[in-house]
Amino acid sequence: MNGFDGGGHDRAAVVAVIPARGGSKGIPAKNLRHIGGSPLVVRAIEAAAASARIHQVVVSTDDEQIAAAARAAGADVIDRPAELATDEAPSETALLHALDVVKSRADTPPITVFIQATSPFITPDDLDAAIDNVAAGTADVVFSAVQNHAFIWRPDEIDPGNMVGVNHRRLVRQRRQDRAIEYRETGAFYVMRTDGFLEAKHRFFGRVGVQLVAEKHAIEIDAPDDLVVAEAISAEGDDGNPHGTDPQIDVDAVVTDFDGVHTDDTALIGADGDELVRVSRSDGAGIARLRAAGIRVLILSAEKHAVVSARARKLEVDVRQGIDDKGAALTAWARENGVRLDRIAYLGNDLGDASALTIVGWPVAVADAAPDVRAAARLVLTRRGGDGAVRELADAVLSTASSTSVHTARRIEGAHA
């Protein structure tokens, strides 16, 4: 394997640096403001500490209160020089200073994670997926983002009173699925090869990748109104899953790839050329429960093989095979069945799933998916393909459906009380 994991480095040699200065003009003592009962800086520390890949969490600060809160949360604290804690000082200067201190105490970690405390809903799974992408050598930098579907305008350079389209032509109103994919940087975290960052002295260098995060978790605290919105999200109980709570996957349909999802992506070849695959009975039970709950299920496969058809018949689900463009096929299926794309969970494992993953509300990856698929996923499962991954997703969907039904029932009861 390419990258750090195969280059003799400790797999856990990843440091997270959280710059958190005391001064803030927009919101005084911003990094100590509470969301969900915890200061912003503590939420960032806890998310990093819950990561399976980060072995050291460092807070760089010029503020004694932030330092005390960080130490109490288990982080190492680095005193940030006053000249690096001004409004004008870029975050990179604090990172470079922190790394100088870190490498003076121990070996330079091969991967650095830059985390901003002003993003309160960072999940350990998103951090781990981004780190895996850099560790695998598929990217030098990975940043958190959400897909951007907005029509962006700006004043014309010659006639400022006239607005011109930035990412579109104003006479052409394309549908979302027909437009080129764009990403909005959330500012929550950046995962970087340390040596590349030290050389470039900037967070973007080399090959840059993206880690998609949930839209509602992409909020960044810049103004007082952001605190109100963030607190409301936290009160709903869906606040970025920093402590490992179950994700809420509220969907009407589950669509899966076949090879590498229902199977372990291997096959037995007989003397006559027939292929045999191994599937999980647990997956079958999960799909049966989805069907019983009224959740539509589709198997979407690039391969056209009798074994796929046989499995679909056994599971009593729809199947489409020999698909080159899964995004287009899924869009057509959704339209035919009256299902909104944002109400679909798609489970994939390889690059052929990318066009489908980018258009659904819940892109999901099996644990052993390709790095690019993991990076595009909103949720990375703990189970591998062929080893209960479909059942894990089914359980998550059904758990959400159950809690939603209970919540709705209670709301109706309250309305009639």
Q: What is the DSSP string of 201-260?
A: -SS--SSEEEEE--GGG-----SHHHHHHHHHHHHTT-S--TT-PPP----SEEEE-STT
pLDDT of residue 148: 85
Q: How far apart are CA 112 and CA 143, in angstroms?
A: 12
With the C-alpha atoms ordered 50, 366, 212, 399, is the resulting torsion angle positive or negative? Answer: negative
pLDDT of residue 85: 85
pLDDT of residue 305: 87
Q: How far apart are CA 83 and CA 102, in angstroms?
A: 19
Q: How far apart are CA 357 and CA 378, in angstroms?
A: 9
pLDDT of residue 24: 76
The pairing of strands 344-348 and 362-365 is parallel
In the DSSP assignment, the letter for residue 75 is -
- Asked if residues 108 and 102 have their Cβ atoms less than 8 Å apart, the reply is yes
Residues of the chain with pLDDT under 50: 1-12, 241-245, 404-417
Q: How far apart are CA 180 and CA 264, in angstroms?
A: 33
Hey, what domains does the chain have and what are their CATH numbers? 4-235 (3.90.550.10), 253-405 (3.40.50.1000)
Q: How far apart are CA 222 and CA 216, in angstroms?
A: 16
Closest CA to 363 of 234, 257, 205: 257
SS3 for 89? coil
pLDDT of residue 242: 43
Instruction: Find the angle CA(363)-CA(129)-CA(358) to the nearest 5 degrees.
Output: 25
Predicted TM-score (pTM) of this structure: 0.57
SS3 for 282? helix
pLDDT tens digits, residue range 338-374? 999 989 999 999 999 999 998 888 889 998 999 878 8
pLDDT of residue 249: 84
pLDDT of residue 239: 54
- Asked if residues 373 and 353 have their Cβ atoms less than 8 Å apart, the reply is yes
Q: How far apart are CA 311 and CA 302, in angstroms?
A: 15
Q: How far apart are CA 82 and CA 23, in angstroms?
A: 11
Alpha-carbon 211 to chain mean position: 5
Q: What is the DSSP string of 28-67?
A: TTGGG-EETTEEHHHHHHHHHHT-SS--EEEEEES-HHHH
Q: Hey, what are 383's tokens?
A: 């189970």
pLDDT of residue 380: 83
pLDDT of residue 155: 95
DSSP alpha helix (H) spans, 339-388: 354-357, 371-376
Instruction: Tell the residue number behind the tokens 């069907």, with chain if given.
Output: 291
